[in-house]
């Protein structure tokens, strides 16, 4: 006997597919997910297409339970619109996910200011540094940083939040059990420990162009506003922006370092159309302070320091001297990589050869070292000591 409706929600998702608005058409007709299952299983579905009728006969509750069991083995739970931890921010959008699979904690998201961050996978070193800094400062101030777990700007957003010991949410375009993108695979447990990893997709689902488009509406929906770092006119990041605008969310942009750079043409267009320019974390903090003072009040001093630093950033600075790096707290493999980078920046491929490691091992180590603040990621999968 089924103890709750979760398995029926998963059954509906199996029947129509993740992100399919037909689920809500059917629920509106029958009134409840349990009633929809009972009626459709009995062949009472005049509103179904012939293809959907055939599919009803092949999808079972046992298959739905198998999905729940598979995800339970990796510590994931299924959140439906009936669950207390299902974010209210999702309920207010068109076509919310029927089931959201989650590793981590989303329980206080609706009471917390959250910012989604999107941008290029082939981000410039400047874009990566700026994104990490702004996201790190906001996470330290109490914001939740939401992004899509891709390489480039997404990774910079997550890394910035993790370095600041803040909370971040990764929204995947694949199953929770799929290691994509490979360089970020080892960071999953850190994000889950300091936030959450979520997806709308079933176990084993590989990322495809369609899954990214389905995913992007959730990135926008989980936050109050969307920050764009670097993006071309054809960038998928602009799909997230379109969802944010449709949902009535704010849109922010980091002004490009070069207005004629093709990698920033999408950002230039957004700024021309009225997006808010962001020159420091204070520009975003002040937008939401009044509404979320109960969450952000303890961080006023951090805001003050950020403003002072921004005002004085053109003041003369002391000459920087690189100090010797203490490798004692790192593992032997991490030490080997850091010692190689002591000679200067290197590509991930060169590091693999020199350290006699596989690409998977090396990228995992580099991701951990980046989160620790020991190395910096540059464009073209190149790295250097931080």
Residues 350 and 201 in one domain: no
Residue 48 in domain: yes
Residues 305 and 354 in one domain: no
What pLDDT, on the 0 to 100 scale, is given for residue 82? Answer: 95
Residue 336 in domain: yes
Mean pLDDT of the chain: 88
The residue that leads in pLDDT, 383 or 119, is: 119
Residues 201 and 122 in one domain: yes
Of the three residues 311, 344, 371, the one that is the final residue of a domain is 311
What pLDDT, on the 0 to 100 scale, is given for residue 274? Answer: 96
Residue 159 in domain: yes
Beta partners for 197? 103, 170
Residues 274 and 194 in one domain: yes
What pLDDT, on the 0 to 100 scale, is given for residue 257? Answer: 86
The residue that leads in pLDDT, 259 or 240, is: 240
Residue 83 in domain: no
Is 140 a residue whose pLDDT tops 90? yes
Q: Determine the average pLDDT of the residues in 199-216.
A: 95
Residue 36 in domain: yes
DSSP letter assigned to residue 376: E
Is 19 a residue whose pLDDT tops 50? yes
Place of tokens 């509406």: 217
Of the three residues 276, 311, 346, the one that is the final residue of a domain is 311
Interval 262-318: pLDDT, tens: 889 999 999 999 999 999 999 999 999 999 988 886 665 555 555 555 545 544 444
Interval 340-355: pLDDT, tens: 888 888 888 888 888 8
The three-state secondary structure class of 103 is: strand
Residues 299 and 336 in one domain: no
User: How many domains is the chain partitioned into structurally?
Assistant: 3
Query: Which residues constitute the domain of residue 381?
Result: 332-385
Q: CA nearest 193: which of 157, 224, 166, 223?
A: 166
Q: CA nearest 95: which of 25, 181, 156, 178?
A: 25
DSSP letter assigned to residue 111: G
Residues 229 and 366 in one domain: no
Number of neighbouring beta carbons within 10 Å of residue 144? 25
Residue 90 is encoded by which pair of tokens? Answer: 């999702």
What pLDDT, on the 0 to 100 scale, is given for residue 230? Answer: 93
For residue 189, give the CATH number of its domain.
Answer: 3.40.50.450
Residue 274 is encoded by which pair of tokens? Answer: 């009225």
Residues 269 and 304 in one domain: yes
Interval 59-86: pLDDT, tens: 999 999 999 999 999 999 999 999 999 9
Residue 275 in domain: yes
What pLDDT, on the 0 to 100 scale, is given for residue 363? Answer: 73
What pLDDT, on the 0 to 100 scale, is given for residue 319? Answer: 43
Residues 135 and 201 in one domain: yes
What pLDDT, on the 0 to 100 scale, is given for residue 83? Answer: 94
What pLDDT, on the 0 to 100 scale, is given for residue 39? Answer: 92
Residues 250 and 341 in one domain: no
What pLDDT, on the 0 to 100 scale, is given for residue 10? Answer: 98
What is the C-alpha to C-alpha distance for residues 372 and 28, in angstroms, rounded to an integer? 49
What is the C-alpha to C-alpha distance for residues 195 and 323, in angstroms, rounded to an integer? 33
Is 150 a residue whose pLDDT tops 60? yes
Residue 155 in domain: yes
Residue pair 7/80 in contact (Cβ under 8 Å)? The answer is no
Is 30 a residue whose pLDDT tops 90? yes
Residues 118 and 256 in one domain: yes
Q: Determine the average pLDDT of the residues in 189-200.
A: 95
Q: Determine the average pLDDT of the residues in 36-47.
A: 87
Residues 34 and 128 in one domain: no
For residue 380, give the CATH number of its domain.
Answer: 1.10.10.10
Residues 307 and 336 in one domain: no
Residue 326 in domain: no
| Least confident window among 89-98, 313-322, 350-359 | 313-322
The residue that leads in pLDDT, 46 or 317, is: 46
When pLDDT is cut at 50, 70 and 90, the band that residue 320 belongs to is: very low
């Amino acid at each position: 006997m089924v103890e709750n409706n979760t398995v029926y929600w998963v059954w509906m998702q199996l029947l129509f597919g993740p992100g399919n608005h037909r689920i809500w058409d059917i629920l509106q007709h029958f009134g409840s997910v349990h009633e929809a299952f009972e009626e459709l299983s009995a062949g009472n579905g005049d509103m179904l297409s012939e293809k959907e009728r055939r599919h009803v006969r092949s999808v079972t509750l046992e298959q739905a339970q198998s999905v729940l069991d598979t995800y339970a083995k990796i510590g994931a739970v299924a959140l439906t619109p009936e669950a207390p931890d299902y974010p209210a921010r999702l309920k207010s959008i068109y076509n919310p996910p029927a089931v959201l699979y989650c590793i981590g904690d989303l329980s206080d998201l609706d009471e917390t200011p959250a910012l989604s961050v999107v941008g290029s996978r082939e981000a410039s070193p400047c874009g990566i540094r700026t994104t990490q800094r702004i996201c790190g400062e906001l996470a330290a101030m109490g914001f939740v940083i939401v992004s899509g777990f891709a390489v480039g700007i997404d990774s910079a957003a997550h890394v910035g939040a993790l370095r600041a010991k803040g909370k971040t949410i990764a929204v995947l375009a694949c199953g929770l059990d799929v290691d994509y993108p490979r360089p970020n695979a080892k960071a999953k447990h850190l994000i889950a420990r300091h936030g959450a990893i979520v997806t709308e997709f079933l176990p084993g689902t590989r990322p495809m162009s369609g899954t990214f488009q389905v995913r992007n509406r959730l990135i926008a929906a989980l936050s109050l506003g969307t920050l764009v770092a670097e993006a071309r006119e054809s960038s998928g990041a602009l799909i997230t922006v379109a969802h944010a605008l449709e949902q009535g969310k704010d849109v922010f942009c980091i002004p490009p370092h070069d207005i004629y750079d093709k990698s920033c043409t999408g950002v230039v267009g957004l700024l021309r159309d009225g997006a808010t320019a962001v020159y420091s974390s204070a520009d975003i903090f002040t937008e939401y302070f009044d509404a979320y003072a109960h969450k952000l009040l303890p961080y006023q001093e951090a805001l003050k320091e950020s403003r002072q630093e921004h005002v004085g950033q053109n003041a003369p600075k002391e000459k920087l001297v690189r100090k010797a790096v203490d490798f004692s707290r790192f593992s032997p493999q991490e030490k080997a990589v850091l010692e190689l980078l002591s000679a200067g920046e290197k590509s991930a491929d060169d590091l693999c050869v020199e350290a006699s490691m596989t690409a998977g091992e090396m990228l995992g180590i580099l991701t951990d070292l980046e989160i620790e603040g020991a190395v910096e990621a540059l464009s073209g999968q190149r790295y250097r000591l931080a």
